[in-house]
Amino acid sequence: MDITTKAIALKATDYKENDKFILLYSLEYGKISVHAKGIRKNSAKLKFCADQFCFGQYELANIGERFTLKSCEQLESFYNLREDVVRYYAACVIAECLANFTEENQSEPNLFVETLKALQSLVNDIEPLAVTLRFLLAFFKIQGIALQTDCCISCGEQSKRYVLDLQRGGLACDNCRSAESIAVSPRALAVCKMLDGIEYNKLTRISATNEILKDALNLCYKYVSHSYFSIKSLSELLKLA
Ligand SMILES: [Zn+2]
């Protein structure tokens, strides 16, 4: 059966002499691995569609759970993300989340739309750390592991101050905190609340310094890596930014 789907290339790996496997995040099928035959030949016309962050209308042959590339029409390249190392790593955080922490063959249209908007914001010169934070908060929510920022994970009460309670895997108030807790800066928490669910095109209105955005991303990093999974490109981004 032949299918067409809008998809974003997350990464590609060489296979045999002239082939590649392209990992796509697609609108209709979620994450899928696609066999691209002969794509490494000099004469291959479809080379572009294995480039990381290529967004296209992919035409695929689908037999069982296997997909083979037939054709592709590029919709947007996002290629210039590579011209700025911070924007590039921000995009890598997004790609890593999709590649490593979503299930294959599970369509999640909300996540597809989030991804596209986040990548578009990155090429449109919106503050890359704010875009990353905005994406991660949405990603956690879609994955069912939202970072709860408005009340204590243990007693459910609102508090003036919170810590990241590693034992409980969330933000706790001073009364509930366990021994294994990390301080959270109120400004980092405030920026998380501010960005949570905001339209990407409104991110330009957020006035948060680099330091506060880094604090907030650090909070996300510690939160997710302690209880769920570690996003390697996020730790790289935090070193670079
Ligand atoms: Zn509490």
Dist. CA 217 → ligand 1 center (Å) = 23
Supply the pLDDT for residue 123: 96
Q: Tell me how far the alpha carbon of residue 172 lies from the centroid of ligand 1, in angstroms.
A: 5
Position of tokens 């739309």? 113
Mean pLDDT of 4-30: 98
The answer to whether 2-76 and 80-240 have equal CATH topology is: no
- Residue 241's closest CA among 223, 215, 219, 220? 215
The Å distance, Cα 142 to ligand 1 centre, comes to 25
Q: What is the pLDDT of residue 79?
A: 85
Q: What is the pLDDT of residue 93?
A: 98
CA of 163 to the centre of ligand 1 (A): 10
Work out the pLDDT band at 64, boundaries 50, 70, 90: confident
> Does residue 65 register a pLDDT over 90?
no
Tell me which architecture the domain covering 2-76 has in CATH: Beta Barrel (2.40)
Number of H helices, E strands in the chain: 6, 8
Reading the block at residue 180, the tokens are 């294994």
Class of residue 190 by CB neighbours under 10 A (exposed 0-12, middle 13-18, buried 19+): middle
- Compute, in angstroms, the gap from residue 130 CA to the centroid of ligand 1: 29
* Structure confidence at residue 152 (pLDDT): 97
pTM score, two decimals? 0.96
171 CA distance to ligand 1 middle (Å): 9
User: Ligand 1 centroid to 75 CA: how many Å?
Assistant: 48
Q: What's the CATH fold of domain 80-240?
A: de novo design (two linked rop proteins) (1.20.1440)
pLDDT of residue 163: 97
What residue type is assigned to position 168 of the chain? R
Q: Any idea where the domains of the chain sit in the sequence? A: 2-76, 80-240
